[in-house]
Every structure is written in structure tokens, then in C-alpha cells.
A and B are shown apart, each in its own frame.
Chain A
């Protein structure tokens, strides 16, 4: 159960780094555990491409008409409803894992969004939103005189 290394007699100064290491490892383990448990639906990935942010989200089986994307300031809101299968007479579920019903999610970006030029497309169950930065908000290059 215990490796002999721990029980081998050593001076305290020798074992100290080992103990600190162990403590660090434990902290890492537990802090990761916390990180692994988000989260809101849908899960998103955020990409950066030439001054714009690109948000991708996996939203299988959504009616694009019922998907609502709105932008205000630096926040984008995605809301919608997952399509529900209505069973006909005589049909019974053997397994039901899908379906999340209604969802809504706000995502705050670190810059003001140019709402006029936001593009969104929905393909193969993946939503892609391109959010360009407001021109005035772009970092300015300063020339050295």
C-alpha cells in the first residue's frame, strides 16, 4: 500500500521538498476537478481570427428558425429550443438521452461587438457565429516620432 520510500528514515530537510511536491500535486488534482465541472448549455468554443471572435457551439437537431442570437455591447446571447420528437400512438421509448428543451446562454467577450456585421450560420448541427470588433475598439498602432 505504501511505497517503502515514504517510510524510509530521512532527515526532515530531505523529506520537505517531497512533501511540498505532494501537496502541490494534490492541489492540482482538486483544482482541476473543479474546472472540469461547468457548465451551461450549449458548450462553446471561442476562436480568434483577424480581430473577430468566432463562437462555435454544438447544437444538434435545432430548428434554425427558432434559434435566436442577439448582441448587445460586449455580450452575445444564444437562445432556442431543441426539437422534440412527438411519439405517435403505439410508439414507446426504450431509451431517452437526448433533448434539453429550452436553453439560453450569455457569453461576454473582452471587447465591444460590431452588431451590424455579426454573421451566423448553422450547418450539420454546429452553430458558428462570427463577431467582429467595433472599429473604434481596435488597438491603435502608435507611431514613434
Chain B
């Protein structure tokens, strides 16, 4: 395992954010079958109330807010990871049926199911004999 893979990667975004916290790029797995696209994102510290998913045209934006990453009334003695929000933007190549998107968060992992729109599903074209 490479070092860069286990380290959190900080977001380098062109636009500045209002909240003065660092944002990180969540690591994702994306897989698909012929009906849907599935996306899993590691976002430790977020739950269903603090994650936001937006799909505009073909741009999918995932944001997660980490609210209480600090231990209450405790002083930090040693630090290997930084606490901050998450943000990542994807451009989707397939058309997505936005009404049927299913999102769940469990144990700090966001799971998105993005069903492909009917018209872009591969269709078998029957060839007629001439």
C-alpha cells in the first residue's frame, strides 16, 4: 500500500468556502452494472444529516460536513490526521434517472445508487435480414 493512499488528500478547489475548515477528497469506489452506477465514499465523521448530494446536469457533487471531530474538553497531544469536511465532484458520462437515486450512510461510508436513465441503457438492436 502506498503512502499517499492511506493519507487523507486535501482538496484543492478553485473556489473558496465560507466555513473556515479544510476539505478533503473522500476516497471512492465506483462500479456499475447495466442498470445502475454505484458509488461508495469513505467519509468518516459524517452521518445522514450532514451529507449532501447534488446532481446538476451531469455533475455530481458530494459534500460532507464533520461537526464534532474534536474530543470534548480534551487537549490534543499528538496528531496524524486532520479533521475537516469532504467534497468531491464527478462528471457523469451516463444520463441518470435522478428521481430514483438512493443514498445511504453507514459507519462513515456513503453509498449512492444512481440508476441509469431508460434511454441510455444499452439496447440490443435486432438486425433484419435484407
Residues of chain A touching chain B, judged by Cβ–Cβ distance below 8 Å, are: 37-39, 41, 43-50, 53-54, 56, 58-62, 64, 85, 87-88, 90-100, 122, 124-126, 128
Write the nearest CB–CB distance from B49 to chain A, whole angstroms. Answer: 10
| Cβ B107 vs Cβ A85 within 8 A | no
| Cβ A45 vs Cβ B80 within 8 A | yes
Residues of chain B touching chain A, judged by Cβ–Cβ distance below 8 Å, are: 1, 3, 5-8, 27-34, 37-38, 40, 42-47, 69, 71, 73-81, 83, 106-109
Write the nearest CB–CB distance from B57 to chain A, whole angstroms. Answer: 20
Besides A44-B81, A94-B37, A122-B107, 18 other A-B contacts (C-beta < 8 A): A43-B6, A45-B81, A45-B83, A49-B74, A53-B77, A56-B71, A59-B108, A61-B109, A85-B29, A91-B38, A92-B31, A92-B33, A97-B27, A98-B27, A98-B28, A125-B43, A125-B44, A126-B108
A99 to B108, CA, bound (A): 13
A9 to B75, CA, bound (A): 51
Write the nearest CB–CB distance from A135 to chain B, whole angstroms. Answer: 20
Q: A60-B44, A60-B107 are in contact. Are A43 and B27 (CB under 8 A)?
A: no
Quick one: closest B residue to A58, CB to CB? B44
Q: A60-B108, A124-B47, A126-B108 are in contact. Are A47 and B76 (CB under 8 A)?
A: yes
| Cβ B46 vs Cβ A93 within 8 A | no
| Cβ B44 vs Cβ A126 within 8 A | yes
Chain A residue numbers with a CB within 8 Å of B71 are: 47, 49, 54, 56, 128
